[in-house]
Amino acid sequence: MKILVKQSKYTFTSNLQMLIMVAPAVIILFIFNYIPMAGIIIAFKDFRANLGFIKSPWVGFKNFEFFFKSQDAWRITRNTIGYNAAFIILGLIISIAFALMLNEIKSKKTLKFYQTVFFFPYFLSWVVVGYALYAFLNMEHGVLNTVLRWFGLEGKSWYTNYKYWPGILISVNLWKTIGYFSVIYYAGLMGIDKQLFEAARIDGANKLQIIMKISIPMISPLIVLLVILQIGRIFYADFGLFYYLPRNIGILYGATDVIDTYVFRALRVTGNIGMASAANFYQSIMGFCLVLVSNLIVKKINNDYALF
Amino acid sequence: MIENRRTQIIQNSIIHLIFIIFSLICIIPLVVIASISFSNEGNLNTYGYTLIPKVFTISAYKFVFGNPGQIISAYWISIARTVVGTFLSLFVISLLAFPMSRSDFKFRKSLSFYVFFTMLFNGGLVPWYILITKYLDMKNTFFVLFAPFLVIPWFVLLLRSFFKQIPMSLYESAKIDGASEYTVYYRILLPLAKPALATVGLFICLNYWNDWWLPLLYIDVDRLVPLPAMLSRMMSNITYLTTQTTNTFMTIDVSNLPKESARMAMCLLAAGPMLFIFPFFQKYFVRGLTAGSLKG
């Protein structure tokens, strides 16, 4: 009896101590993450800086009316989802192909060399990447135009023509993220039991069959997990990519403006808080719905793969 | 058998060919930046940007460091926010992840949900911005350069999955000897989890060093601008100048503006430290990535 009392008292103090330990992080999350969640209802208000958040008058759906009636809504939605879909699909194909090829390399040193180099772009800030791209695409001195001139072609004015930009943005994003994803998938491949491959080889399976019947199915939980995480964020664009690469040039907005850059501009540059908050609300809610839906679909297919 | 061997060799050569080409694509942009930064302005204007400087000169670096004030202060701010931010963040999230990794912690499930939920749903930029500028009044403070990124859920979950690998029995034996949870955290967990802390710390460090988002939003004064944000300001200045000089049809041509090589030198100075240290810690990075992608 005495031991029992002591035991429960002991778990009580221990739990209390642990609660105290988590307190700072819980408070920080509350301030920077949970309060803004409640703050999305600002989209239904006519926010005025001098009145503050609480006292600003309600305006119902007026901000949304303005936002959706403007052509911007369609453009930024199309760009955000279109680019992200391209990143997900192409990124998946290329990084799995890379992982499978890495898996074929036997020499440890070569392997490490490739991994290190592929990781390189991942460590660069988008600002720096923006500068590097500029060195390539600059009209007069850019590397790309110099190369074009070698072949007797006319140099192109990359920063004034938006039709080039979908290609540029997709390639640069792939360039930056392929190393990251292929290393993750490669680690997944490394985790597969080697005996499976042995057995298949003895049974006379060729390489393609081994890849399709063993390698890919074995890492599919990982693939599904990463793809859901990406789909859940399909309404969120990588701000740096779309802001620093096209250098915020207005003439390119048709191909480069995404929800994030739009909200940023409305908030910081044009000061149109109504539009900004409407787009912001739209993004948060749609993003959340997509996470729930994609998780639900995965749950239907295979319960084990679901996130929650 | 011989046939088989030949296809094997061909196949391997194709793989290496693809990888070597991709490796070059990964490295060349940085080589170009470096080359421009070591070129002189006149040559850049006549020959364009090249992979190897026509004339090797460090005048751009002399210019950057000869004009101290701005760049030195930007370096200091970058270093200060990275160091302060990384240590504070590691401290706070390890304190959070430790109980989350413990099966005897009563609020483990609800706490995990509390952390995880912020990954699924967030309020977005507008309320966050208004909160920080209007209500917390953190605009143009050093504090705002690290505080909002102190607890990043992804890093918490990563750390928790590392902590889970430490056997509970170690904690229990200490507690039988009368140790409090704080002592267990400090005396047992921290020393044992050093590799995990190094891994996550590296991610946090990279995150702070490369970040331009917080300064872009919240810093207007020169003395608090870190390196990437300074680069970002220089970039918008170029755009600003070109839109001023050509009013009707915009062509981006900065050839007449001086100091292109100085800009690239700053770029290299900003990217340099991370690129220099990361090959040494690559093992940790890969471990962090793979641990993070596993469920649980």
Q: What is the pLDDT along chain A (308 residues), one digit of tens a residue?
A: 455 555 566 688 888 888 888 899 999 999 999 999 888 888 888 787 777 777 787 887 888 888 888 888 888 888 899 999 999 999 999 999 999 998 888 888 888 888 888 888 888 888 888 888 888 887 777 778 778 888 878 777 788 778 888 888 999 999 999 988 898 888 888 888 888 888 888 888 888 888 888 888 888 888 887 887 788 788 888 888 898 888 877 777 888 888 888 889 888 888 888 888 888 998 889 888 888 888 888 788 777 666 66
Q: Are residues B53 and B94 in the same domain?
A: no
pLDDT averaged over every residue in chain B: 80
* Statement: residue B257 has pLDDT above 70: no
Residue with tokens 């030198």: B265
Mutation to test the A interface, candidates B26, B32, B107, most A Cβ within 10 Å:
B26
Q: Is residue B62 part of a domain?
A: no
Does domain A62-305 sit in CATH 1.10.3720.10?
Answer: yes
Domain count, chain B: 2
The predicted pLDDT at position A164 comes to 86
The answer to whether B220 touches B140, Cβ cutoff 8 Å, is yes
The last residue of a domain, from among B57, B85, B103: B57
CB contacts of B106 in chain A (<8 Å) are 15
pLDDT tens digits along B136-154: 888 889 999 999 999 998 8
Interface residue A188 vs chain B (CB under 8 A): yes
Q: Are residues B89 and B236 in the same domain?
A: yes
The last residue of a domain, from among B30, B57, B84: B57
The answer to whether B219 touches B225, Cβ cutoff 8 Å, is yes
CB contacts of A221 in chain B (<8 Å) are 295
Q: Are residues B245 and B278 in the same domain?
A: yes
Of A149 and B293, the structure prediction assigns the larger pLDDT to A149
DSSP codes of every residue in A29-90: HIIIIIHHHHHGGGGGB---TTTHHHHSPB-TTHHHHHHHHSTHHHHHHHHHHHHHHHHHHH
Q: Are residues B105 and B213 in the same domain?
A: yes
Q: Are residues B76 and B41 in the same domain?
A: no
Interface residue A153 vs chain B (CB under 8 A): no
Q: What is the CATH number of the domain that holds B108?
A: 1.10.3720.10
The last residue of a domain, from among B15, B33, B57: B57
Domain span at residue B244? 68-293
The predicted pLDDT at position A86 comes to 93
Q: Are residues B18 and B106 in the same domain?
A: no
Q: Are residues B37 and B151 in the same domain?
A: no
Are A146 and B239 an interchain contact pair (Cβ–Cβ within 8 Å)? no
Are B33 and A128 an interchain contact pair (Cβ–Cβ within 8 Å)? yes
Interface residue B134 vs chain A (CB under 8 A): yes
Locate the domains of chain A by residue range: 2-44, 62-305
Distance to chain A for B236, nearest Cα, Å: 7
Q: Are residues B160 and B99 in the same domain?
A: yes
CB contacts of B51 in chain A (<8 Å) are 143
The predicted pLDDT at position B242 comes to 43
Q: What is the reported pTM? A: 0.84
Going from the C-alpha of A128 to that of each of A218, A259, B37, B228, B271, the distances in angstroms are 37, 23, 13, 8, 7
Residue of B nearest to A276 (CA): B126
DSSP codes of every residue in A102-169: HHH---HHHHHHHHHHHHGGGGS-HHHHHHHHHHHH-TTT-HHHHHHHHTTPPP--GGG-GGGHHHHH
Q: Is residue B63 part of a domain?
A: no
Q: Is residue B283 part of a domain?
A: yes
The predicted pLDDT at position A174 comes to 93
Residues 9-48 (A) with a CB less than 8 A from some CB of B: 10-11, 13-15, 17-19, 21-22, 24-26, 28-29, 31-40, 42-43, 47
- Maximum distance among all Cα pairs of chain A, rounded to whole angstroms: 93
* Statement: residue B221 has pLDDT above 90: no
Q: Are residues B144 and B248 in the same domain?
A: yes
Q: Are residues B215 and B76 in the same domain?
A: yes
Q: Are residues B158 and B243 in the same domain?
A: yes
Give the distance from CA A173 to its chain's centroid: 10
Distance to chain B for A191, nearest Cα, Å: 10
Q: Are residues B224 and B280 in the same domain?
A: yes
What confidence category does residue B241 fall into, taking pLDDT thresholds of 50, 70 and 90?
A: very low
